[in-house]
Structure 1
Amino acid sequence: MPERDDAEREFDLKWADNAEHKEPSARARMLAARWKHNPPGPVPFRAEPEGQRAPRRSSWISTAVVLGCVAALIVLIGYINFRAPY
Structure 2
Amino acid sequence: MSERDDQEREFDLKWADGAEHKEPSARARMLAARWKDNPPGPVPFRADPEHRGASGRSSWVSTVVVLGCVVAVILLLGYIDFSPH
Question: Fold-level match, TM-score > 0.5?
Answer: yes
Bigger proportion of residues as helix: 2
Consecutive aligned runs of 4 or more in structure 1 exceeding 3 Å deviation = 18-21, 41-47
What is the aligned residue count?
77
Q: CA RMSD in A?
A: 3.2
In structure 2, distance between residues paired with 1:28 and 1:60: 38
Q: Which runs of 5+ in 2 are unaligned?
A: 48-52
Aligned match of 2:54: 56
In structure 2, distance between residues paired with 1:8 and 1:68: 59
Q: Which runs of 5+ in 1 are unaligned?
A: 48-54
Deviation at 1:76, TM superposition (A): 0.5
The C-alpha deviation readout for 1:52-79, integer Å capped at 9, x for no partner, is xxx8262433322222111110000111
Q: TM-score, normalised to structure 1's length?
A: 0.59
In structure 1, distance between residues paired with 2:61 and 2:38: 44
C-alpha change, 1:40 and 1:9, in structure 2 (3 Å) is same
